[in-house]
């Protein structure tokens, strides 16, 4: 004879609880937090370098740079003028989780911060499962990848609010079709806000910067994302 005992518990409830704590701390201080996700090499660090160069005097930016190994990205961001850069080396783990954010958050004086960028580990699969307490996920792809990326990683593109297509200066040198990439992304997520940029030439970045300014100065803060059902 076997008996079933109902449990009904989210597997990641512990993570979600910590993420909710992070979120309420950030909200209390009016800090907007963006969780940047992409494959390795799409240009997350380059986008942040450009963003620092443009907005570092104007907004108070904090950066958390997650990497499997090395603090290279964090070092790049410091060289780009980042005053508040906190590396997280996961030591092989393929994603950041809320506990890691909880550990490094005390390094920041949240009262002195407008915008917190969390650069996740380069991976379009695993980070999609973990709420870090961010306002929204921003997913990057680049024109040197396949334009079917959104179809291959639907969970991530569905959970993101914003997509940045980087390396548009290289359009035409590969088979990447910009319109097809956008259509693929909108099939998964009709509400995605899309930016087309080149971190190398600076093309299209003005719209991205203005959008960030709007996030910080705008009256309506982003609605916290809902994770899972």
Partner 1 sequence: MHELSIATAIVETVLQEMQRRQLPAVSAVGVRVGALSGVVPDALEFSFQAIINGTPLAGARLAIEQVPLQGKCRNCGLDFSVQEFIFACPDCHSGQIEITRGEELEIAYLEVSS
Q: Distances in Å between the alpha carbon of 205 and those of 48, 49, 117?
A: 11, 12, 16
Supply the minimum distance, in Å, between the C-beta of residue 3 and partner 1: 5
- Which tokens go with 20? 């909710």
The contacts of residue 217 (CB under 8 Å, 6+ apart) are: none
Q: Which residues, listed in sequence order, are joined to residue 62 by a DSSP beta bridge?
A: 116
Binding mask 95-114 for partner 1 (x = CB under 8 A): x-x-----------------
Report d(CA 181, CA 107) in Å as an integer.
38
- Which tokens go with 74? 């964090």
Count of other CB atoms within 10 angstroms of residue 29:
14
Question: Which residue shows structure tokens 């005992």?
Answer: 5
27 binding partner 1? (CB under 8 A): no
Q: What is the dihedral of CA 206, 212, 214, 220, to 10 degrees?
A: 150
Supply the minimum distance, in Å, between the C-beta of residue 160 and partner 1: 13
Between 37 and 74, CB nearer to partner 1: 37
Q: How many residues bind partner 1 (CB under 8 A)?
A: 37
8 binding partner 1? (CB under 8 A): yes
The contacts of residue 20 (CB under 8 Å, 6+ apart) are: 133
89 binding partner 1? (CB under 8 A): no
Residue among 27, 68, 76, 154 that touches partner 1 (CB under 8 A)? 154
Q: Which stretch binds partner 1 (CB under 8 A): 111-119, 136-144, 169-177, 183-191?
A: 183-191
Q: Which residues, listed in sequence order, are joined to residue 165 by a DSSP beta bridge?
A: 141, 196
Between 9 and 217, CB nearer to partner 1: 9
Q: Which stretch binds partner 1 (CB under 8 A): 28-36, 60-68, 69-77, 180-188?
A: 180-188
Residue among 186, 200, 213, 221 that touches partner 1 (CB under 8 A)? 186
Binding site for partner 1 (CB under 8 A): 1-15, 93-95, 97, 125-126, 128-130, 151, 154-156, 158, 186-191, 228-229
């Amino acid at each position: 004879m076997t008996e079933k005992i109902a449990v009904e518990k989210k597997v990641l409830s512990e993570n979600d609880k910590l993420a909710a704590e992070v979120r309420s701390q950030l909200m209390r201080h009016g800090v907007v937090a963006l969780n940047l996700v992409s494959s390795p090499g799409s240009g997350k660090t380059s986008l942040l370098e450009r963003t620092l160069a443009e907005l570092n005097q104007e907004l108070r930016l904090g950066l958390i740079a997650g990497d499997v190994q090395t603090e290279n990205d964090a070092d790049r961001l410091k060289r780009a003028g980042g005053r508040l850069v906190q590396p997280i080396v996961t030591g092989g783990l393929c994603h950041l989780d809320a506990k890691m954010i909880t550990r490094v958050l005390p390094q920041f004086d949240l009262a002195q911060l407008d915008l917190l960028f969390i650069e996740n580990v380069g991976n379009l699969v695993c980070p999609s499962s973990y709420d870090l307490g961010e306002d929204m996920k921003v997913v990057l792809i680049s024109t040197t990848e396949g334009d079917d990326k959104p179809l291959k990683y639907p969970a991530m593109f569905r959970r993101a609010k914003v997509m940045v297509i980087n390396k548009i200066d290289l359009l035409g040198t590969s088979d990447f079709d910009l319109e097809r990439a956008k259509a693929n992304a909108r099939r998964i997520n009709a509400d995605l806000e899309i930016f087309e940029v080149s971190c190398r030439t600076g093309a299209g970045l003005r719209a991205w910067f203005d959008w960030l300014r709007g996030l910080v100065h705008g009256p309506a803060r982003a609605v916290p994302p809902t994770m899972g059902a």
